[in-house]
Chains A and B, each alone.
Chain A
Amino acid sequence: MVNEKQLIEGCLKQDRKAQKILYEKYSSVFLGVCSRYTRDRSEAEDVLQEAFLKIFTNIKQYAGIGSFEGWMRRIVVNTAISQFRQNVKHYYQQDITDVKESKIDENVVIDADFTQEELLQVIRDLPRGYQMVFNLYAVEGYMHKEIAEMLKIDVNTSKSQFSRARKIIQMKLNELSKERMPGIILKENESRI
């Protein structure tokens, strides 16, 4: 069994076999990450391929300090952000429209177990900017200041987009709960996820 150190050494030598082993080990995990930042599987795979290319061609920059998987994960996330920023003009109009159409009802209670696929779809249905902020804040654990720097937006924009994203998510999860359990009792001013 090849350990991580050997894999890194192999990748440093541009050994295709080591690269493939590394890819097979982490590709499914990172495609899961990419999926959260993209609209569909095809786009997610594009980001994944781009990210692995960056990993293999910049592996010398990994200093050996800290988690190798964490280093790769940052590259994957940054690649997704780069792709988002490249298409930011395209997404902008859509975001505004979605915001206007979003009617946030907070007076519902969510009482259901959601599958990963359902949650993924909820994130993917968010306006693109919200999707990025929500992922970075809620799932990756970045601070709003870091997110603002990464996305080149204002800190307050990051905060407001996260707030709106959360409300949209809450609304969609409640809708999902209603579909599953039509007889559910909704309590006002209580949210239980």
Chain B
Amino acid sequence: MSQEYKEINDLFRSSFEGFRIEPSKSAWSNISRKLWLWKFFRFSVSTFNVYYVAGILTATIVGGKLMSDKIPQTGSEISSVKNSVSTHSLSQGKTAVTEKNPNSETIQNTITAKIGISNEKSVKTGNIKEQVKGNLHYNNSENPDQSTSNKINAGNIIENGSKVMNNIETASNEDDSFFNDLSGNTGNKDVQISIPGKLSGNIAKSSVEQDQTETETEKEQDVIIYDTIRIHVFDTIYTYDTMTFVPSGKSKDKPVWSVEAFVSPVITSGGFAAKSDEFSNDLRRLKNATSSGSGFIAGAEGGIQYRHWRFNLGFTYAKFSTNYNDTITTKTTDTISYPHVTPGGYYSTDTTGHQWEYDPIHHFYVYAPVITHTWHDTSVTTIVHQTYTSTNTKYYNNLNTYTYLEVPFSVGYEFRYERFSIVPRVGGVAGILLNAKGRTLSFNDNVAIIDLDKNKLPFLKLNWSWMLAVELNYRFNDRFSLVAEPFYRQNLNSIYGNENPFRQSLNSAGVRFGIKYDF
């Protein structure tokens, strides 16, 4: 390499040695955000990540599916059932609609526009025959003996030649059984109309041209539809009985299952309390040093509602933090005494100890004070005391984080107004400590701030809290609701173990945002 090359290399190498450029303030926040994403998509037991989200969603879906399987059929599959019926039998229904019976027009139009006829489970192709004369009979598959006895029952569709009339209930003008049959689901009813309130008695009149006293034996051919025929009023599916607040289409006497996935930002305060006066000064310092932190809770809950009452149980992943800002000033006084001073050397004793030096007079090593000048005296009787005082100030600015896997449970009471509902809830939370990071006070020898040891955490594994919440619910369709829920939680126990001389409670408040699905 030529001299010139070296000179150029040296010029740049020396110029850029220690060359610094301060990065912009946003650089760290960008790195921090990317690190969070990296951490979120990487599995770790102690951090909330995408695998937890997937687990919660899976649990929600599987739980929902399991619960929905246990719920009695309620006519939830409106559209599909409607289609199947249209294929098989609505040709009759359409005929009925065009029927110009002034008395039956009201209900028939309603049926055309709003009503789907659902035949659950077992619409059997071919069972409905064309040019049928006679009644459409209800066949209770669970109780075959009653099939024939219910031949004139709600939902009978009678075809009389080319005329098809909707003889929903011939007895509707006579008693209240019509409404019971329509909105309820008891007995052998084959018609279920989820329309609350009143229905005109015109329905009964629509069958005026049909001999209502006709017996089964008079019919030439019956159309047999197994199980129930359900009729739902789609336009009113979201209206609610003003007396019971139970959604139409769902029996007020049956429980409604639901699941909810949610996330909630929280603010946390860590309240300290001493168990005795012994550490009152330290406690005061702790209180002054501790300020509110933040955190989040994410998870899913399953719920069951019976009339107004709601019971919830779930799993959540919760991460809380508290800020700890403290200043500790330590003064150290070091007194050094010189009991003997002899020419040619010195020795000393002090309270903390310094380096040893050789005493040439007495021929042994002694403590020697660290002083900047050479001390010399010929007297052997002089005793010199020298005191050093040093002040050491330490600033602690620390964020303690606590990670819990929690099981919240609660009971609530629902007040509903149209699509909105308010559910005050009270309950408890059992939290299992997964991890904690940060610092704590140690009382072993002196009061000192120490790093938390992951393998020897001073906290209780199980943490109990009580909870008060107000769920604000907006139902935007028959199944889904948006939920916003302010809540407050307070520890029932100290997060520290009993051996600690003080208590600390992790109290938190926040707003939970979620989406709820009713089965």
Residues of A participating in the B interface, judged by any CB pair closer than 8 Å: 14-17, 19-20, 23-24, 27-29, 31-33, 35-36, 41, 44-45, 48-49, 52-53, 56-57, 114, 116, 119-120, 123, 134, 137-139, 141, 166, 169-170, 191-193
**How near does chain A come to B422, taking the closest CB pair, in angstroms?**
39
**How near does chain A come to B458, taking the closest CB pair, in angstroms?**
19
Contacts of A15 in B (CB 8 A): 437
B267 within 8 A of A: no
Contacts of B11 in A (CB 8 A): 114, 119, 193
Contacts of B30 in A (CB 8 A): 49
B364 within 8 A of A: no
**How near does chain B come to A178, taking the closest CB pair, in angstroms?**
17
Contacts of B34 in A (CB 8 A): 49, 53
A53 and B38 contact, Cβ closer than 8 Å, known pairs A23-B31, A32-B21 = yes
B145 within 8 A of A: no
In chain B, positions 363-401 with a C-beta closer than 8 Å to chain A are 399
In the bound complex, do residue B32 and residue A170 qualify as a contact, i.e. CB atoms below 8 Å apart?
no
Contacts of B8 in A (CB 8 A): 138, 166, 169-170, 193
Contacts of A123 in B (CB 8 A): 12
Q: Which residue of A lies closest to B39 (CB)?
A: A14
In the complex, 24 of the A-B residue pairs with CB atoms within 8 angstroms, ordered by the A residue number, are A16-B35, A20-B28, A23-B31, A24-B28, A27-B22, A28-B21, A28-B22, A31-B20, A32-B19, A32-B20, A35-B21, A36-B16, A48-B27, A56-B31, A114-B11, A114-B15, A116-B19, A119-B12, A138-B9, A191-B7, A192-B7, A193-B4, A193-B7, A193-B11
In the bound complex, do residue A45 and residue B9 qualify as a contact, i.e. CB atoms below 8 Å apart?
no
Which 9 residue pairs of A and B lie closest in terms of their CB atoms, listed nearest first? A28-B20, A32-B19, A138-B9, A31-B21, A193-B7, A31-B23, A191-B4, A27-B23, A32-B21
Contacts of B39 in A (CB 8 A): 14
| B: interface residue count bin | 20 to 34
Contacts of B21 in A (CB 8 A): 28, 31-32, 35, 41, 44
**How near does chain B come to A17, taking the closest CB pair, in angstroms?**
7
In whole angstroms, how far apart are the Cα atoms of A75 and B4 in the complex? 31
B interface, over-half SS: helix
A57 and B38 contact, Cβ closer than 8 Å, known pairs A16-B32, A138-B9 = yes
Contacts of A23 in B (CB 8 A): 28, 31
In the bound complex, do residue A49 and residue B22 qualify as a contact, i.e. CB atoms below 8 Å apart?
no
**How near does chain B come to A14, taking the closest CB pair, in angstroms?**
6
Contacts of B24 in A (CB 8 A): 45
**How near does chain A come to B14, taking the closest CB pair, in angstroms?**
10
Q: Which residue of A lies closest to B398 (CB)?
A: A17
B219 within 8 A of A: no
In the bound complex, do residue B15 and residue A52 qualify as a contact, i.e. CB atoms below 8 Å apart?
no
In the bound complex, do residue A138 and residue B13 qualify as a contact, i.e. CB atoms below 8 Å apart?
yes
In the bound complex, do residue B15 and residue A116 qualify as a contact, i.e. CB atoms below 8 Å apart?
yes
Contacts of A169 in B (CB 8 A): 8
A31 and B22 contact, Cβ closer than 8 Å, known pairs A56-B35, A166-B8 = yes
In the bound complex, do residue A116 and residue B16 qualify as a contact, i.e. CB atoms below 8 Å apart?
yes
In whole angstroms, how far apart are the Cα atoms of A134 and B8 in the complex? 10
Q: Which residue of B lies closest to A115 (CB)?
A: B15
Contacts of B9 in A (CB 8 A): 137-139
In whole angstroms, how far apart are the Cα atoms of A20 and B32 in the complex? 9
Contacts of A138 in B (CB 8 A): 8-9, 12-13
Given contacts A15-B437, A45-B23, A116-B19, 9 further A-B contacts (CB under 8 A): A20-B32, A29-B20, A49-B34, A53-B38, A56-B31, A119-B15, A138-B9, A139-B12, A193-B7
In whole angstroms, how far apart are the Cα atoms of A153 and B185 in the complex? 81
Contacts of A19 in B (CB 8 A): 32, 35
**How near does chain A come to B33, taking the closest CB pair, in angstroms?**
10
In whole angstroms, how far apart are the Cα atoms of A6 and B27 in the complex? 23
Contacts of B31 in A (CB 8 A): 23, 49, 52-53, 56
Contacts of A137 in B (CB 8 A): 9
